[in-house]
């Protein structure tokens, strides 16, 4: 695996598309939560486009996360920008956690919705908070790179290279 000097157009596009998909998963979550409450109470649920959006949006997050991982293996990713060993490790662990949750959220949601597994719904609910915390950390780190360190971290997730 070679080490490119930057992210490719596909890697950058997928990053921002997945960001938008995850934002809408949180913004329009009330419909799926209400539908799930009705399912667990044994009440019939009619068609709701926002429930479909949650399921399709989540499935796309999973698909695109796997695609991104395949791109990372085949094409590689740029080396981290300069920083201490602790900073590099924190960044690596955050990215690993984000990838894990982009897979585990749709899997747990599907087990709940299609398999009726109550425990999966509970873990989906717990993981939504962990994902939110990791994204907050990730964005805070990006802002720190951009405005305190003034390095190229954000620029390389905007312009394709290598």
Binding region for ligand HEM (CB under 6 A): 15, 18-19, 22, 25-26, 29, 32-33, 36, 54-55, 58-59, 61, 68, 72, 77, 80, 91, 95, 98-99, 102, 105-106, 109-110, 112-113, 121, 124-125, 128, 131, 135, 138-139, 142, 153-154, 156-157
What is the distance between the alpha carbons of residues 118 and 131, in angstroms, rounded to a whole number?
Answer: 20
Phi, psi of 79 (to 5 degrees): -65, 150
Judged by beta carbon, residue 33 or residue 47, the one nearer ligand HEM is 33
Nearest to 89 by CA among 23, 130, 141: 141
CB of 42 to ligand HEM, least distance (A): 15
CB of 80 to ligand HEM, least distance (A): 5
Judged by beta carbon, residue 72 or residue 149, the one nearer ligand HEM is 72
Residues contacting residue 35 through CB under 8 Å, at least 6 positions apart: 45, 48, 51
10 Å Cβ neighbour count for 119? 10
């Amino acid at each position: 695996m070679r080490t490119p000097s930057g992210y490719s157009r596909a890697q950058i596009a997928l990053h921002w598309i997945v960001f938008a998909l995850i934002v809408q998963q949180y913004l329009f979550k009330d419909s799926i939560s209400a539908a799930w409450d009705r399912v667990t109470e044994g009440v019939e649920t009619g068609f709701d486009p926002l429930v479909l959006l949650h399921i399709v949006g989540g499935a796309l997050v999973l698909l695109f996360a796997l695609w991104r991982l395949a791109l990372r293996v085949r094409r590689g990713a740029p080396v981290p920008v300069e920083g201490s060993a602790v900073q590099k490790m924190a960044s690596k662990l955050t990215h690993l956690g984000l990838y894990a949750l982009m897979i585990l959220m749709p899997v747990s949601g599907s087990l709940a919705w299609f398999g009726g597994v109550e425990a999966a719904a509970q873990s989906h609910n717990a993981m939504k908070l962990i994902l939110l915390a990791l994204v907050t950390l990730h964005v805070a780190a990006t802002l720190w790179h951009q405005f305190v360190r003034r390095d190229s971290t954000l620029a390389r997730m905007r312009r394709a290279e290598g």
